[in-house]
Amino acid sequence: MKAEGHPEYHTITVKMTDGTEFQTRSTWGNEGETLTLEIDPTSHPAWTGGKQQLQEGGRVAAFNKRFGGLSLKK
């Protein structure tokens, strides 16, 4: 195999949303960097069983809120 065809595999620190940290090997970043997670298994509704955080009404509701009062009638 060609050596230059593979990414560098090194040790990084992963910081969870609750502040806990662990070390793992990854191709992300550089040796010794810290990857700070915004969503992880301790906080994501898919793993915790909580309510999903959805945008309030979605894109259609935002459009209707902004332009709902307009009409094509003269």
pTM of the predicted protein model: 0.57
DSSP 20: -
Given its phi and psi angles, is residue 54 left (phi above 0), alpha (psi -120 to 50 degrees) or beta? beta
DSSP 38: S
Distance between CA 57 and CA 63 in Å, rounded? 10
DSSP 19: S
Q: Tens of pLDDT along the chain (74 residues)?
A: 677 888 899 999 999 999 999 999 999 999 999 999 998 888 877 777 766 555 557 788 888 888 887 777 66
